[in-house]
Amino acid sequence: MTAVLQARAITKSYAIGKREIPVLRGVDLDLHAGEKVALLGASGAGKSTLLHLLGLLDRPTAGEVRYDGRPVQDLSVAERALLRHRQVGFVFQFYHLIPELTALQNVLLARMMGTTVFGYWRQRRRARSAGVAMLEQVGLGERLHHRPAELSGGERQRVAIARALLAEPRVLLADEPTGNLDSETAQGVVELMFSIQRERDLAFLLVTHDEQLAARCDRIVRMKDGTIQGSRPGDVQPEDSAQAD
């Protein structure tokens, strides 16, 4: 079985002034359906950059990202956007909800990406009930019409999760989803994500600092200075945990 998502020899560097700052120096990563992978590493190790590259928000300087074995480098911007919409769900540390929209509208926004105005108009009832169902699934059935500013952090992250999953992606990329939450709320959000992952058989990449959380994943990938250090399941390296804070 080929991996849903593959990264091959990815390097990425940013130009700051005249200097090239390398962030990723040749990363290989496979992500299979139904697999939970934790990405551990210190700040600045390149975790978020890798996540952006895998989620097609950015292009690698060299190397390939493949979806179902198909390289995506040569796709146009619009095609990449469509692919992202269909295949990938993002959950961010800072929720990234649009403050002008209610919870339901934020979720439905994801549904509107891939269709035309008329296409959406024809399926608006279906889209709405799907959005409501999704929000109910994340436990927000009572708060459909609240704006982000009226929701607690955990609730916001649940909206973000609902939004990420509405389009039924095969890959879920989460960038420290609990980093901004107290431990109790974080626990709830994590359980929610894991349960949905199981239910939908998603390929799940979780960027985190939390060793305990990482330990619950099928596989841990450690990053340091833009390279992968190891990717054994249940592997815990003491020196890294000291760094990761």
Partner 1 sequence: MTPAFAPFLAWRYLLTRRINILGVCGVAFAVWAMLVVDGVFSGFVTDIHEDVRRSSPPLLLTDLPHDTDYEPLRKVLEADRDVIATAPRLRQHGMVMPFSPRDRGRRPAGSEQLEFDHTRNGFALLLGIDPDRERRIVDFGAWLDGGPAAIARYGGIRPRATAPVQDDPERRRRLQVDDEQEWRARRRAGLPAEDDPADHRSIWPGMLLGWPRVFRLDWVQKGDPFEVLVAAFPRHHAGGPLLRPCSERFAFAGWFGTGHRMFDELTALVPIDTLRQMLGESEFDEDYVELVTDVAIRPRDGLSPADLRALQRRLRAAAQAVLSPDCAPCSVLDWRQQNTTLLAAVDQEHSLMQIVLFVVMLVSAFVIYATLHMMVVQKIKDIGIVAAVGGSPRGIGTVFLLTGTIIAVLGTGLGVLAGVLSAMWLNPINEWIYRISGGRLELFPRALFDLQGIPCHLEPSWIVTVSAFAILLAVTVAFVPARRAARMHPVTALSFE
Classify 68 as helix, strand or coil. coil
Nearest of 201, 209, 229 to residue 34 by alpha carbon: 201
The reply on whether position 144 binds partner 1 by CB under 8 A is no
CB 198 within 8 A of CB 142: no
| Exposure letters 129-162 (e unless 16+ CB within 10 A, then b) | ebbbebbebbebeebbebbbeebebbbbbbbbbb
Q: Pick from 31, 39, 50, 88: which binds partner 1 (CB under 8 A)? A: 88
84 near partner 1, judged by CB under 8 A: yes
Pick 23 or 220: Cβ nearer partner 1? 23
- Residue 121 in the binding site for partner 1 (CB under 8 A): yes
Q: Are 24 and 73 in contact (CB under 8 A)?
A: no
- When asked if residue 82 is in the footprint of partner 1 (CB under 8 A), the reply is yes
- Contact (CB, 8 A) for 99 and 146: no
> Could you tell me which stretch among 17-25, 110-118, 137-145, 232-240 binds partner 1 (CB under 8 A)?
110-118
Note whether 193 binds partner 1 by CB under 8 A: no
CA gap 124, 64 in Å, rounded = 37
Amino acid at 83: L
Toward partner 1, which CB reaches closer, 48 or 214? Answer: 48
Does 225 bind partner 1 (CB under 8 A)? Our answer is no
Q: Does 72 bind partner 1 (CB under 8 A)?
A: no
| Contact residues: partner 1, CB under 8 A | 52, 55, 57-58, 77-78, 81-82, 84-86, 88, 90, 92, 96-98, 100-101, 105, 109-117, 119-121, 163-164, 167
